[in-house]
């Protein structure tokens, strides 16, 4: 899942585990994913699905 993301770092140091911004398609528009990103302070761009109520 999203928690297993490792962003390569240029040079020495620990790999980053938080993206600067997440862009996803409608398949990732669940409340669980959106709330996870909000808790971690990660801005996101995920379109709303037409067949589901608003996730926000």
Q: Give 10-53 as a DSSP string.
A: SSSSPPB-S-S-EE--GGG--HHHHHHHHHTT--EE-PPPTTS-
Q: What angle do CA 50, 23, 43 make, to 5 degrees?
A: 100
Question: Does the predicted TM-score (pTM) go above 0.85?
Answer: no
> pLDDT value at position 18?
74
Average pLDDT over residues 9-28: 78
Domain coordinates in residue numbering, the chain: 21-56
Inform me whether the pLDDT recorded for 53 exceeds 80.
no
Inform me whether the pLDDT recorded for 2 exceeds 70.
no
Inform me whether the pLDDT recorded for 51 exceeds 70.
yes
Average pLDDT over residues 44-54: 77
Average pLDDT over residues 14-41: 82
């Amino acid at each position: 899942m999203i928690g297993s993301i490792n962003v390569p770092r240029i040079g020495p140091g620990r790999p980053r585990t938080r993206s600067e911004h997440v862009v996803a398609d409608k398949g990732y528009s669940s409340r669980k994913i959106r709330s996870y990103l909000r808790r971690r302070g990660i801005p996101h761009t995920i379109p709303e699905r037409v067949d589901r109520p608003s996730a926000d």
